[in-house]
Amino acid sequence: PHAIAFDGFRWHTRAFCLKDDCFKDFLLSRIIDIRGSRESETSADDDRDWHSEVTLEIAPHPELSETQAKVIALDYGMRGGKAKIKVRRALLYYALRRLGLDTDPAARRPQDQQIVLLNAADLDARAAALIGASGSGAAG
C-alpha cells in the first residue's frame, strides 16, 4: 500500500494488486487475510490515477429558488455561483457519490440534490464513465 484515504464514510488503502496487475482501492475493514505478498516491481509513482487530479465544477441546482441557491452557494464557498473542487482521479468515484453527483440530476428533487456538476462533458472518458456508475469503480 502507498496511501490511505477516507471517503467520508470508510477508510481505504491504495495498493498495487498483483492478481489483477493494477492499482486498486481496498477497504481496510474488509481486509481479513492476505493471499500472498512479494516485492513488486511497480512503484507508487506508477499509480497515475493517484497522482493526477480532476476538477469538478459545481453550482446550485438550477431549479432551486434564488434564496435556496444563495444558501447552497454559501455552504460550498461558491463565488459567482460556482465552485471548483480538485479530486484525485483515484478518489473521483467516492467524491461523486459523496456529493450525490453519481446519478442523473433529474432522478432526484432539487431540494434533495442541491448541486449539479457543470463540467461533466469536459471530464475525460474514464472520469465521465464514473458519473453514472452504480456501485462499481472500487475493489473491496
Residues 6+ apart with CB under 8 A from 61: 69, 72, 105, 110, 113, 114, 115, 116
Instruction: Supply the DSSP string of 51-70, one letter for each residue.
Output: H-EEEEEEEE-TTS-HHHHH
All three cell numbers of 25, joined, read 482501492
The Cα–Cα gap between 74 and 76 comes to 5
* pTM, rounded to two decimals: 0.81
For residue 133, what are the contacts with CB-CB under 8 A and spacing of at least 6? 93, 96, 102
- 3-state SS class at 49: helix
pLDDT by residue (tens digit) across 89-120? 999 999 999 999 987 777 889 988 999 999 98
18-32 pLDDT tens trace = 889 999 999 999 999
